[in-house]
Amino acid sequence: MQTIIEIKEFADWILHIGDEDMDLNEVREATIQIPKDFLIEHVEQPLLQLVEFVCPGYMQNLTSDRFFFMRVQ
């Protein structure tokens, strides 16, 4: 589980990119270093790994209506 500090650091990193708060060249391009934790490396199916990261249990529950819908009481 991520700590509050890690989440804040990630949010700040994304904001810096969105605000263009970095060294830009003459055509407003920048080199961005992506933290190694964010990379999908050395897997046979990177898209499936991304789906599992974003929505854990998705593939296992693909046919379950209960997984995708919450009851509002």
Please state the rounded mean pLDDT for residues 44-73: 78
Sign of the Cα torsion 15, 51, 31, 35 reads: positive
Taking only the tens place, the pLDDT of each residue in 10-52 is 888 888 888 877 778 888 888 888 878 777 777 888 888 888 8
How many other C-beta atoms are found inside a 10 Å radius of the C-beta of residue 49? 13
Q: Where are the domains of the chain?
A: 1-39, 40-73
